[in-house]
Chains A and B, each alone.
Chain A
Amino acid sequence: MEKTLAFWSILRKDIKTYYLKPPNISWGIIFPVSWTLMFFIRSGGAVDIKGILPGVMALSVLFGTTSMLAVTITFERKKRSFERLLLAPISLNLLMLAKTTGTIIFGVINGFIPVLFASFLIDLSGINWFFAFISVLLIAVTSTFLGLFVAVSVSEVFEAQTFSNFFRFPMIFLCGLFIPLDNLPVFLRPLSYLLPLTYGADLLKLAVSHRGSIPVWLNLLVLVTYGTGLFLISTYNIQKKWIY
């Protein structure tokens, strides 16, 4: 009961405090919205909107979660209010789950913003919504923990945003979001298969346009493994670096 109360309090506080912070708005909301509009409006009828929808959704989740984490963790760490949480009688794992849940929810909401825009332009029937939700959720979890890994490694919010861009932007081109993996140069393909978003995007493609190329079980396995691994590494890093 006490653990649940602490969990919800941290989650509620983060949502209330950070969802509308400037870095979140610019990187987490404005950027994905602009990106979506750029594809949907500027491309007109030349682009298969349903075809690119999974990619845009995945990017919205990726940018939303990693931006939010940079704020909720790095900002609090910088202001030393994170110490207050470390000194509370709650386990580090519970604390980090509470801190990341707000981000996961933010990522999922962000992931469906492109769907909202697309609904005005095309017929969205035929999409497996349950599967699409699970895919977005898994991408949100994995990219949140990727963001957590970055947030724990830096000390300034701008560093977190910059560091995040080192993997966010290459992922746009390497994860099969807009360029199919088979069309990538052979020497880049192994790199694609190392990135978790490749598997998340494939799941989404399957849900939205039924065009996945990797077995579902493998997508799920890789995403869960990545998520768990990154969470464990991040909490280990916090224990090593922040509990001096």
Chain B
Amino acid sequence: MKIIEITKLSKNYGDFQAVKEISFFVEKGEIFGFLGPNGAGKTTTINMLTGLARPTSGEIIISGQDGVKDIKKVQRIIGIVPDESNLYDELSGFDNLVFCASLYGMGRSEREKRAWELLTRFGLDDAGKRPFKAYSKGMKRKLTIAAGIIHEPEILFLDEPTTGIDVKSARQIRELLKALNEQGTTIFLTTHYIEEAEWLCRRIGFIVDGNVIKVSHVDDLLREAQKENIIEFTIEKTSAVLKSSLLERFPGITIKKVSDHSVRIGSTEKIELMPFMKFFAANSIKISEARIIRPSLEEVFVKITGIEIEKLKAENEGKKKWKKL
């Protein structure tokens, strides 16, 4: 059953078209991942779905209601966790949750009970009376997620929930999201972390330059990618000559230079290791490692979006801007 249905949704900012007639749907009870590089249109799409941006054209149906005209009705059944922990610094964790609950019309005893329940569930009960500004980044993120589900929404929108927090907190958040989904909450997730999407999501939509270019089940994406056999060789030095010699000797393979010292050889057929070892030995190239690569969602992402993994990682860490290849 479709709980979110988007048809030909577009958003223009002056002459710039941030989202270009995208159409896809999210099924009730699933975790749907929405992936793409920076500036691809992920946040603009979430903003349109949650009522923080007005679509230029197109249709949004959320739980049977018009997400453009009746956005205030829709906001009653959705929860939103923005990419920034935007609760109130001066209020305690408990007061923040109680305040957020009151915006959804929850009675006093109900909202206080729910706030403590969530603080306990998120491991924040000891910090419940501390001001939000005294929380660590991970704690802030957890409380922001708790605020997003205080009114028990049918659908939860999460924009980069684990960006910029420590590994332990990120893992806890993923576990919490999984548990939340198992209890019936539909989750719409955007993330830079491909492994997070692979672990959490049932289906994934890829957005690049404002276009949704593929929507598929994670299992199908992986199955498709794993049709190809890949071996990565770590050698002394790669070169253009090496590439042409390999192609000449082993027609039908694909070669990808990973770094100055490693090369990936791919084939739809099973790859025998020995002929390659002999080839490198005959050409006096020392091999320090040979390993089978099992394509993950990262490779799928690279293939679909054309974004190099290294650049994506650098982008995740905020070290440099991505460049489309």
Q: Which residues of A contact B (CB under 8 A)?
A: 1-2, 5-6, 8-10, 13, 16-17, 79-81, 83-91, 243-244
Contacts and interface: CB of A to CB of B under 8 A. Distances in A.
Given A17-B91, A243-B52, A83 B86 contact: yes
Given A87-B50, A89-B75, 18 more contacts: A2-B105, A6-B102, A13-B88, A13-B99, A16-B90, A79-B89, A80-B84, A80-B86, A83-B86, A84-B103, A84-B147, A86-B52, A87-B80, A88-B104, A89-B76, A89-B103, A244-B13, A244-B53
B104 A244 contact: no
Nearest to B84: A80
Contact of A83 (B82, B89, B147): B82
Residue from B13, B90, B102, B104 having most chain A Cβ neighbours under 10 A? B102
Given A5-B105, A13-B91, A244 B84 contact: no
A90 B100 CA distance: 12
Given A1-B105, A6-B102, A80-B82, A87 B52 contact: yes
Interface string B38-61: 000000000100111110000000
Interface residues of chain A: helix, strand, loop or mixed (majority): helix
A244 B52 contact: yes
Contacts of A86: 51-52
A21 to B, nearest CB: 9
B192 to A, nearest CB: 19
Interface of B: 13, 47, 50-54, 72-73, 75-76, 80, 82, 84, 86-91, 99-100, 102-105, 147
A6 B105 contact: yes
Contacts of A244: 13, 47, 52-54
Contacts of A17: 88, 90-91
Contact of B73 (A8, A87, A89, A243): A89
Nearest to A239: B54
Contacts of B90: 16-17
B86 A9 contact: no
Contacts of B53: 243-244
A126 B31 CA distance: 71
Contacts of A85: 103
A211 B104 CA distance: 49
A72 to B, nearest CB: 11
B319 to A, nearest CB: 24
A81 B52 contact: no
B279 to A, nearest CB: 57
Contact of B103 (A1, A16, A90): A90
Nearest to A87: B80
Nearest to B54: A243
A9 B80 contact: no
B102 A5 contact: yes
What are the 9 closest A-B residue pairs judged by CB atoms, nearest first? A2-B105, A9-B102, A88-B103, A80-B86, A89-B75, A89-B76, A244-B53, A17-B90, A81-B86
A6 B104 CA distance: 7
Contacts of A91: 72
B102 A81 contact: no
Nearest to A92: B72
A80 B51 CA distance: 15
A84 B82 CA distance: 9
Nearest to B102: A9
Contacts of B88: 13, 17, 81
Nearest to B157: A87
Given A17-B88, A89-B75, A244-B47, A9 B103 contact: yes
5 contacts: A9-B99, A16-B90, A80-B84, A80-B86, A86-B51
Contacts of B80: 87
Contacts of B91: 13, 16-17
